[in-house]
Structure 1
Amino acid sequence: DPQKARSSAGVNQHSFSDFESYCPPLGLETLKITDFQLHASTAKRYGLGAHRGRLNIQAGVNENDFYDGAWCAGRNDPYQWIEVDARRLTKFTGVITQGRNSLWSSNWVTSYRVLVSNDSHAWTAVRNESGDVIFEGNSEKEIPVLNMLPVPLVARYIRINPRSWFEEGSICMRLEILGCPLPDPNNYYHRRNEMTTTDNLDFKHHNYKEMRQLMKTVNKMCPNITRIYNIGKSNQGLKLYAVEISDNPGEHEVGEPEFRYIAGAHGNEVLGRELILLLMQFMCQEYLAGNPRIVHLIEDTRIHLLPSVNPDGYDKAYKAGSELGGWSLGRWTQDGIDINNNFPDLNSLLWESEDQKKSKRKVPNHHIPIPDWYLSENATVSKARERGTQRQGHAERVSFTFLKKLVTCG
């Protein structure tokens, strides 16, 4: 379980929720810490340099390129290190480590020391009453392991010194540092202006309760063009809320194009969820401001926005935090379904048929049973025409005919 952070003697064990309010990640994972702030004793090659030692970084398909999945030392000995320059005095409180992301090799650090410095020359190791603390590292390459320092230490630089590693591998690691930057008015980097948005939008990550509240706020701001509804419940009983944006919300207008935007199929991938929430805020505000482009969209189309298809997965990943959750926690639904890929697998049948030079044949759709009357072309077309007066005749006919052709592979 990624949430089970381990620690060695003298180091307290904590969950993500404990340290989140204490000191946050410095930003190796998010790239807030730049490549120029990362240094190492040696590197096996450029693609395994210190700049690749970021928590949750992924290797490319070709692992021998410039984009490999960890920092790997050039030698396997206890004198190797990777170092972070915080560029200002920082209260360091913890370290999170992973092994190397790789399909072909197994490399991780099983124990390490932590050292701090103010000038990158004189280093002080983290100690307890027994001497230098040896922190327990990883036992495999993907699950993040959190170690909290016995007491917070204030310094500018922090260095990780691997002491042991997987015996069939080599020294490779990805990491994140937990720390609170301290006020320093004389620091150049502290004085630099940070870019901020001028848009009146809610730029933050929203948990389920906050997401629902934001949707209600948008509906309250624009009651004449929005409607909140749900399409059912998740495995854990969370409603799948959607917002409709239209000049006549709740009404299907014949001939008016309808568009559906969904996000969060992988619960731990939050960018789409937040973009959908920003989109509904933006459209509401711009409609009220009279933006002609937005007014045209709302009056001539019907838009459905569903920000979280997999709220159970999001909730699981949110509680662990990205640092400890890894790439897989919350990706699937509660019953193990990958919503993003849960479509009929007709490609394999087609490729197999081509490889074996088989003649055309009809195959069953394993995803949704096809009614027998769909397989009759006349019945399909007539049924489409019959329903066309109620829905969108031509589009209905196209979709039914396409479905029939879709399941004929050769």
Structure 2
Amino acid sequence: MTPVERSCRPLRQKGIRVLRETTHSPNTGTKCPPLGLESLRVKDPQLRASSYKRRGLGPHRGRLNIQSGIEDGDIYDGAWCAQYEDKKQWLEVDARRPTRFTGVILQGRSSIWSWDFILTYKVQFSNDTLVWQPAMNGTKEAVFEGNQDTETPVLALFNESATVARYIRINPQSWYENGTICLRAEVLGCTLPDPNNIYAWQQTEQGTKDKLDFRHHNYKEMRKLMKSVTEACPDITHIYSIGKSHMGLKMYVMEISDHPGKHELGEPEFRYVAGMHGNEALGRELLLNLMQYICQEYKLGNQRIVRLVKETRIHLLPSMNPDGYEMAFKKGSELAGWALGRYSYQGIDMNHNFADLNKVMWDAIEFDFQNNDKSKLINHYIPIPEYYTSEDAFVALETRAVINWMQNIPFVLSANLHGGELVVTYPFDRTEDWAPHDDTPTPDNSFFRWLATVYASTNQVMSNPDRRPCHNENFQRYNNIINGANWHTVQGSMNDFSYLHTNCFDVTVELSCDKFPHASELPIEWENNKESLLIYMEQVHRGLKGVIRDKDTEAGIADAIIKVDDIDHHIRSVADGDYWRLLNPGEYEVTVSAEGYNPSTRMCRVMYEHYPTICDFRLTKTPKQRLKEILAKGGKLPKDLQLRLRQLRLRKLRASTKAINSRPVPGKRPPTSPPTAARFSANEESCAAVGKMHSTCSKNIGKMYFSKFIV
């Protein structure tokens, strides 16, 4: 028998009917939406309580899915908890307008130290807080079933003839026997029309003017929407799949470009990734909104969007974890809880599932430091360890698909969209000494801070100085950006892997306090993030770009290393020789090197404008490389090299002839010709006998020439 059943037995024996949980889907459109306790649309002053133990357990903490810190006892505990243990305690919500209340969702206390939740409760309504009307079940006062654990949300819907009121109270009647009165809640209700404009001062956030599909899309609906975008804008869009999930769902990507399907010389590649955690659904919907918006605005001739499409190849992956999302979607936006759908079907947290290249790099640095040798130190394109690529490695199929995607496309900039907080984090995400948190910057720390600031400062909620913290940390004191490792250490993050294994810079955006906001909140969330999503993409054009070519052939040089002085992180050119180096404004000394070429250094200045500085390089082959290429082609030397060799032979011939014919000085041994000269003379005579510059002779003479004077 569960705790709830034990608690309900005495009530049922007295003839009191206890209402059980009612199923509910947020996407049916038939039920009223949440008032917004979880999303913070309901402000702290709208919450009151009969009593509370301390400030950290006050009524403002009685919000669905609110999270506590590691330690209890601070101002960020994980529930409202009453000071007294009796049936007179209540949590009150002021809707601030006449509202038809339709249901309540209840949850226990968030804590790793305490186990507190409500077993049964009653509900009352009022218009003035003086006279209260109980929720009824026929002719009797209704008693609702609460929770059986601390995390699973439980929904109770009221009768069809729901009461219209301004205030609602949740009145606990029984609670877990080893705990106390603590709860987190969400209230469902439909705000009534205000024809007389009496509550104009109570108006909340406005929606959006954009005509987009604002609802939650499961796998089939997402695929259908993406297809409709390509049909509306076939010239600039292309859908492709990077792989399949464990359950066989394809991981679709929307490509947006003026020439979709191919990489264009000098055009940077950008990506957004959402849904790494399947229950963090806002990023998924924002990317679906974004692809619709770009298509619509491009057709309307919006110059900003047209420029972005023509100058950038954009890739949008709405769902990295489609299996996890489907689990959360079936439960519903309010009933999925804090963790359902977070992990892959195999139970893998993909934000900890990428190869830990931080350790590889730091171990190499430590080894080179101990041996006082930095000549072989690698600070970029760090290879993946063999153990990670084995079949036995515990790596999700989805993670492998994304890694292959990263390796196949030369991405320059990316953002990983998450939910559950309001902050932008930047690498490194892992601390070097395994501390729980510690500032661990990359060599490109200043530019990463710029990227994070660009998104956070243009996000309408993050930039609001009056907003309250989501859960247990106030990121406003950091201007809503933070080094990932300084927040909490994450081993095997996608951001760190992207920075150390590819050319791509990646940040994490925590989009909202609510991981899975109700569909009614999506228009507001789109407006909160629209400008941030656009301006962040435009940052891919900040810094340097150019093409590295062979000076003789003008062919692009792949895998050339681009080194910026005083920044200990290099990048490489891609297949066609083009490169992009993200940098803040300033003047930089840039050195480019490639195998078989002489290094080249030049000064490049990055301006403040939103376009990159062109900084091309033309490299000359080393003599050794030229000889290798000549010999590889059968030993046919170019005419200029033949002339140089002929002149050298004649000079050597004269010197050797003079030495042989010179008369010996009495008392001294006659000088002998150098062995090298003799060899040249002998080869020359044999070649002269042939009467032409035979390829074999040319090859042998060339070998001796380069081995003595060049190699």
Give me the TM-score of the superposition, normalised by structure 2: 0.47
User: 1:51 deviation in Å?
Assistant: 1.4
| CA distance in structure 2 between the aligned counterparts of 1:262 and 1:13, rounded to whole angstroms | 36
Q: Which position in structure 2 is the counterpart of 1:58?
A: 67
Q: Does 1:103 align with 2:124?
A: no
Q: Does 1:177 align with 2:198?
A: no
Task: Give yes or no for contact 2:18–2:143 (8 Å, CA) kept in 1.
Answer: no
| CA distance in structure 2 between the aligned counterparts of 1:351 and 1:253, rounded to whole angstroms | 36
Q: Which of 243, 246, 256 is 1:232 aligned to?
A: 243
Unaligned stretches of 5+ residues in structure 1: 1-6, 371-388, 401-410
Query: Cα gap change, 1:391/1:124 in structure 2, threshold over 3 Å: closer, same or farther?
Result: farther
Unaligned stretches of 5+ residues in structure 2: 1-6, 9-16, 372-382, 392-554, 563-569, 574-711
Percent identity over the alignment? 55
Q: Does 1:91 align with 2:100?
A: yes
| CA distance in structure 1 between the aligned counterparts of 2:305 and 2:99, rounded to whole angstroms | 46
User: 1:10 deviation in Å?
Assistant: 4.7
Q: Which of 10, 16, 21 is 2:24 aligned to?
A: 16
Task: Give yes or no for contact 1:91–1:152 (8 Å, CA) kept in 2.
Answer: no
Q: Which position in structure 2 is the counterpart of 1:154?
A: 163
Query: Cα gap change, 1:182/1:278 in structure 2, threshold over 3 Å: closer, same or farther?
Result: closer
C-alpha distance after superposition, 1:186-211 (max 9, x if no partner): 46336865523233444443333332
Query: Cα gap change, 1:399/1:130 in structure 2, threshold over 3 Å: closer, same or farther?
Result: farther
Task: Give yes or no for contact 2:19–2:143 (8 Å, CA) kept in 1.
Answer: no
Task: Give yes or no for contact 1:108–1:172 (8 Å, CA) kept in 2.
Answer: yes
Q: Does 1:368 align with 2:363?
A: no
Q: How many residues align?
A: 374
Letter of the structure 2 residue corresponding to residue 11 of structure 1? L
C-alpha distance after superposition, 1:143-165 (max 9, x if no partner): 11122335543142221111222
User: 1:169 deviation in Å?
Assistant: 2.4
Q: Relative CO higher for 1 or 2, CA cutoff 8 Å, sep ≥ 6?
A: 1
Task: Give yes or no for contact 2:355–2:384 (8 Å, CA) kept in 1.
Answer: no
C-alpha distance after superposition, 1:233-270 (max 9, x if no partner): 32333222111122221123345322222111111112
Task: Give yes or no for contact 1:88–1:187 (8 Å, CA) kept in 2.
Answer: no
Q: Which position in structure 2 is the counterpart of 1:383?
A: none
Task: Give yes or no for contact 1:92–1:152 (8 Å, CA) kept in 2.
Answer: no
Q: Secondary structure at the match of 1:87?
A: strand
Letter of the structure 1 residue corresponding to residue 73 of structure 2? N
C-alpha distance after superposition, 1:322-366 (max 9, x if no partner): 211101111112121222221124667899999xxxx89x99554
Letter of the structure 2 residue corresponding to residue 310 of structure 1? N
Q: Secondary structure at the match of 1:326?
A: coil
Query: Cα gap change, 1:350/1:68 in structure 2, threshold over 3 Å: closer, same or farther?
Result: farther
Task: Give yes or no for contact 1:344–1:365 (8 Å, CA) kept in 2.
Answer: no
Q: Which of 228, 236, 258 is 2:269 aligned to?
A: 258
Give me the TM-score of the superposition, normalised by structure 1: 0.78
Larger Rg: 2
Q: Which of 167, 170, 178 is 2:177 aligned to?
A: 167
| CA distance in structure 1 between the aligned counterparts of 2:192 and 2:298, rounded to whole angstroms | 43
User: 1:232 deviation in Å?
Assistant: 2.6
| CA distance in structure 1 between the aligned counterparts of 2:557 and 2:230, rounded to whole angstroms | 28
Q: Which position in structure 2 is the counterpart of 1:43?
A: 52
Relative to structure 2, which stretch is displaced further, 123-132 or 265-274? 123-132
| CA distance in structure 2 between the aligned counterparts of 1:118 and 1:229, rounded to whole angstroms | 55
Q: Which position in structure 2 is the counterpart of 1:393?
A: 559
Letter of the structure 1 residue corresponding to residue 317 of structure 2? L
Relative to structure 2, which stretch is displaced further, 264-273 or 80-89? 80-89
Query: Cα gap change, 1:13/1:195 in structure 2, threshold over 3 Å: closer, same or farther?
Result: closer
| CA distance in structure 2 between the aligned counterparts of 1:147 and 1:134, rounded to whole angstroms | 10
| CA distance in structure 2 between the aligned counterparts of 1:53 and 1:174, rounded to whole angstroms | 4
Relative to structure 2, which stretch is displaced further, 168-177 or 81-90? 81-90
Query: Cα gap change, 1:183/1:116 in structure 2, threshold over 3 Å: closer, same or farther?
Result: same
Relative to structure 2, which stretch is displaced further, 242-251 or 341-350? 341-350
Q: Which position in structure 2 is the counterpart of 1:300?
A: 311
C-alpha distance after superposition, 1:9-58 (max 9, x if no partner): 35254212398623332222222322222110111122221111111111
Q: Which of 9, 15, 25 is 2:34 aligned to?
A: 25
Relative to structure 2, which stretch is displaced further, 8-17 or 80-89? 8-17
